[in-house]
Amino acid sequence: MSRRTDHRTSATAPERAAPRGTAPEGAAPPGLRPALVGALVFLLLAAALLLWSKWDPYSRRVVELSASGTWAGSSVLATAGVEPGAAPSLRAGWAFLLGYTAAVWKAVVAGLVIAAAVQTLVPRRWLLGVLSRRSDAGSALVGGLLSTPSMMCTCCTAPVAGALRRSGVPTAGAVAYWLGNPLLNPAVLVFLLLVAPWQWAAVRAGVGALVVVGGSVLVARLTTPRLDPASAAAVVAAVPSAGDDARDEDPAGAAGRFARSLLRTSAVVVPEYAVVVFAVGCFSGWLFPLGQSAQSWGALALLAALVLGTLLVIPTAGEIPLAQGLAAAGAGGAVVGALLITLPALSLPSMAMVARALTWRVTLLAAAVVVAGGALAAGLLPLLS
């Protein structure tokens, strides 16, 4: 009798001794399944949103441009009735806000939802495992590569870049994702090859890659302390694993966190976006004063393309009709080259939206890097043409 009692006791001892919340040997850790579900939901949600807002429209646009070889339609400035050099007006601001919103509202919705999903559905340890590399260059390269499928304009990707930084992604990776969306957009590169000289696409791709990767590394080196490889690995290792992170709770909890994050982000970003875009529209005649007289501006035209082009906000591929119009007006290859980088890369609204997460120091240094990239493109395009 005692032997059987001892046998039963010894058989159940390991289970009684197992720490609470752990899984038996060979079983998945408790929380790994919710983490996998959250990551899968994120991927499906992001793919559906990007298919709706980006991939399908751009695929159809490629087919149209392949048949016509010309860019149909005018720039968002012309659509809003903005005249180069026109005095500021509330009417211009309202018209510009409506025109720009009509062009990008789908991508705005996608950006807000993806930003909320990044912060609530993807396990933080997994996110950092992808984007926290052993060097700033590695993080910037991964961030730039991950930006290419989303193909958003700088304003629409700002909430996602901010979400990445708030989740602990290194500065180099977050900045590279932010800049890479507009500059490395594969659809825009195809558009340029179809409707513009090949040199435009070559300069955009080459200088864009340098700004995204090299510029992000430079910004990170100037703003954040450097970590040796062992320290960088320790940062990722210190993050809670699947099952310990608050993001790995039950599906009902994840849904609630996602809804709260989406509402919180939208309540901040949408009014901020509307106010800053409206203000840019009010002053857009001054912010982008180049018109038919661009050829007579000389060096001032290049300066305007570098500085004011960085502040102006445009939808995805909006730089193409503007650059083509200025080239037809005789603006010259230097101005066109500068605009191919500065117009899409950043804008005043996107900088305002992302500054809280990245800090204003990082944001302004990123703007300086974009201006430098525009200057490089201004020198390269005339040489290639």
Per-residue model confidence as pLDDT tens digits over 319-331: 999 899 888 888 8
Contacts of 150 (CB under 8 A, 6+ apart): 46, 50, 54, 114, 157, 160, 181
Burial category of 249 from C-beta neighbours within 10 Å (exposed 0-12, middle 13-18, buried 19 and up): middle
Question: Residue 247 pLDDT more than 60?
Answer: no
Residues with Cβ within 8 Å of residue 26, at least 6 apart in sequence: none
Q: Quick one: pLDDT at residue 27?
A: 47
What's the pLDDT at 31? 54
Q: Among 126-140, 222-236, 284-298, 353-367, name the one with the lowest average pLDDT.
A: 222-236
Segment 330-352 shows an average pLDDT of 94
> Chain-wide mean pLDDT for the chain?
85
d(CA 24, CA 167): 31
pLDDT band at 294 (very low <50, low <70, confident <90, very high): low
Higher pLDDT, 18 or 197: 197
| CA distances (Å), origin 327, targets 29, 46, 89, 319, 354 | 61, 37, 28, 12, 32
Average of pLDDT values for 105-118? 96
pLDDT-based confidence at residue 15 (cuts at 50, 70, 90)? very low
pTM for this one? 0.86
Contacts of 230 (CB under 8 A, 6+ apart): none
Name 187's Cβ contacts closer than 8 Å, sequence gap at least 6.
54, 58, 61, 62, 151, 316, 317
Question: Could you tell me the pLDDT band of residue 300, with boundaries at 50, 70 and 90?
Answer: confident
Amino acid code (one letter) for 170:
P
115-138: average pLDDT? 92
The residue with greater pLDDT, 146 or 295, is 146
Residue 73 above 80 pLDDT? no
Residue 176 and residue 212 in contact, taking contact as beta carbons nearer than 8 Å: yes
Report the distance separating Cα 194 and Cα 85, nearest Å: 31
Secondary structure of residue 298 in the 3-state scheme: coil
Neighbours of 298 (CB within 10 A): 10
pLDDT > 70 in the chain, percent: 82
Virtual torsion, Cα 46, 51, 53, 55, nearest 10 deg: 120
- SS3 for 98? helix
Residue 14's pLDDT band (cuts 50, 70, 90): very low
Distances, alpha carbon 272 to alpha carbons 101, 214, 323, 349, in Å: 13, 30, 28, 8
8 Å CB contact between 106 and 53? yes
